[in-house]
Structures are given as structure tokens and as C-alpha cells.
Amino acid sequence: MIAVVLGTRPEIIKMSPIIRLLRERQEDYFVVHSGQHYSYDMDKIFFEELELPLPEFNLDVGSGTHGEQTAKILTGTERVFEQEKPGVVLVQGDTNTVLAGALTAAKLHIDIGHVEAGLRSYDRRMPEEINRVLTDHVSKYLFVPTPEAKNNVLLEGISTDKIHITGNTIVDSVQHNLKIAEDKSGILDDYCLKRGEYFLVTAHRQENVDDKFRLRDLLKALEALHEEYSLPVVFPIHPRTRKRISECQLEVPRGITAIQPTGFLEFLILEANARLVLTDSGGVQEETCILRVPCVTLREHTERPETIEVGSNTLTGITPEEILLAVGTMLGRGTNWTNPFGDGRAAQKIIDSIHNG
């Protein structure tokens, strides 16, 4: 039996091809939703959009400190695993849900499969970096998306027989869902947006939004971007970011279209039709690369260096000067880069690797 553990919307998106394939093959599996970022009820729309069955278990751990979240997920997954006795636990990415699910499985002597293993920013200030490193080192199966990710874990002494290059399941997910999104979503009309004539922004990482002065600089930079290009700047504001803007007594500037977080299909349409995307999200760096939309990453380091190498992405600080320079650089490039994240068959390769031992 395979247990799929997830807790955030990016994990739902990236695990969806695996869940769909397990269901199609009539495999013995179940899904545990930790509820790390949002309530379980708020995430139901993602399962519905992606045509997935609802999870059999939800822990509803909610927000909290890293220690509080991790402890609650450890307790909840331990109870579920002892009851259901899975043979393999699959986790994806670098969240507290990933680390807690993997640690629980390791202590119960259950094999762990880490989907999207081997990513490294080499910035230990990021809690995500700690989570992904520790998870890799307790996993039996490391499903790495690229040869570069494989090399990262080989350099840390992990045995090559644990490592499987599968590509990234985000390619599977984008390919499967883009046509569905185009048929269903009217979000461009809802906000009077024209294809290729707006910027899209996401920002939620603590290094950007928990520092009042960095958050203030980011908002000023978005205002300068609107003034420089006379284009709308669409900003689906993450709850964490909205809360910090209010706490810091800041305001979203003129020219910024602040909207509520969207479902995956709507966001996919916003990404695919943007002139350029600015983000601090790892997943968005991958999605824009796949969709051939230029990306500016609002960070000093990235665990997706492949996007930099192929030319789909660049790193920058968050001052107006830095962002305008980065945007100008990316808009001056072509979009004829090669997608480094695989052929859209990552889920199949992952499940086959588990069955082949």
C-alpha cells in the first residue's frame, strides 16, 4: 500500500498526476492531507479542479511555528500510518509536511519516496532547504527531476541505487490541465486582461514578506514596474502576505490589481498569458519555464538552477532598480528555451520504480 502525504496547494498540484495514475491502475493507496497552509475545506476546490478523489485522512494542523506544525503532523501521520500500515510513503517537495511525514515513516521503518528530491539552494537560512536535505537522507527512493539534482545528492554521499531521474511531475500536471483550464476559465475577462499585456506577481516566502522594509521595497518596486511599462500588475495575494501588509501598515500601490488567491486552473491561465511573471515560488519558476513565459525570481538563490541555465529565469533583489533591470533583461530575451524538467511521464516512472524495488 502507498500513502501519499501532502499539505499545501503546490503539493496537491504536483502529486495529482501520481494520485490520478494510482487510481487509474487501481493500486492500493490512500492520501493524507495535513492542512498545513489552508483549511481542508479551502483546499477541496483544488481536488475538484484536478479531478481527484478527496483525501481519506485530513489532519487540519493549520498555521503555527515550524515546531508546532511539524509536531502536529508527526503526531497525526503516526496515528494514520500505524492504523493503515502502508509499505511506502510518498512526500513531495520541501515543506514541514514533507519533513514530518518522512520522519514519521522513518521511525516506523516504512520506505519513503521523495518526489522532487535533490533540489538545493545551498541557503540554510531557508527552512525549505533544511526540510529537503533531511528528507533526502532518510528516503529509500529519491525521485530527482534532473541530472543536476542527482549530482547534488551524490555529492552528499547518497547511494546511486536510491536515485531515479524521473523528470518533474509539474510537467505532467501542466500538460494535463492547460487545455482544461483554457476551456473553463474566464479569469482574463473577469479582470479585463489582454493576453501578453500584464505582469503577474506572487510573493509569500518569509524572507520577503516578514521583513517590513523588504516588503515595503517590493510594493514600491511593483508600483515602479506599472509606471515604467503602463501595464497592469496582477497580484494574487497570499494570506500570509496580506496579513503582513496589514500588520506593517503598508498599502498596495496604485496600478496593482490585488486579487484573492486563485485555483490552479485560473492561475495556470494567468501564468500562460502573462508578459512576464515575478515570483519567490519555486513551483512558479518551473511552470513559467514549461509555459515559455519569462520569469524574474525575487530571491538571491534558487533550487531550480536549471531555469537560469536555459534562460527562462533570472534572480534579483526587490528594490525598484533591481527589479526594473531584471525585467528589462528578461523581456529582451527570446522564449525559445528547452524545458529541462522532463517529458510529462514522471508519475509513471515514479510508480514503476517503486514496483521494481
Are residues 225 and 299 located together in one domain of the fold?
yes
Q: What is the CATH number of the domain that holds 248?
A: 3.40.50.2000
Pairing outcome for strands 163-165 and 141-144: parallel
In the chain, the percentage of residues whose pLDDT exceeds 70 is 98
Answer yes or no: are the C-beta atoms of 25 and 351 closer than 8 Å: yes
Are residues 113 and 213 located together in one domain of the fold?
no
Answer yes or no: are the C-beta atoms of 149 and 237 closer than 8 Å: no
Residue 84 lies in a domain: yes
* DSSP E strands, the chain: 2-6, 29-33, 57-58, 88-92, 111-115, 141-144, 163-165, 199-202, 233-236, 256-259, 276-279, 295-297, 313-315
Spatial separation of the C-alpha atoms in residues 349 and 5, rounded to whole Å: 19
Catalytic option among 33, 114, 164, 204: 204
pLDDT digits (tens, 9 = 90+) for 266-299: 999 999 999 999 999 989 999 999 999 999 999 9
Are residues 237 and 297 located together in one domain of the fold?
yes
Confidence at residue 62, expressed as pLDDT on a 0 to 100 scale: 83
303-315 burial, b at 16+ Cβ within 10 Å, e below that, comes to bbbbbbeebbbbb
Is 238 an active-site residue? no
Residue 297 lies in a domain: yes
Confidence at residue 41, expressed as pLDDT on a 0 to 100 scale: 63
Residue 336 lies in a domain: no
Q: How many domains does the chain have?
A: 2
Tell me, rounded to whole angstroms, the distance of Cα 10 from its chain centroid: 4
What cell does 313 get?
529565469
Spatial separation of the C-alpha atoms in residues 198 and 269, rounded to whole Å: 12
Confidence at residue 299, expressed as pLDDT on a 0 to 100 scale: 92
Answer yes or no: are the C-beta atoms of 258 and 181 closer than 8 Å: no
- How confident is residue 38, by pLDDT bands cut at 50, 70 and 90? low
Domain interval for residue 134: 2-168+342-355
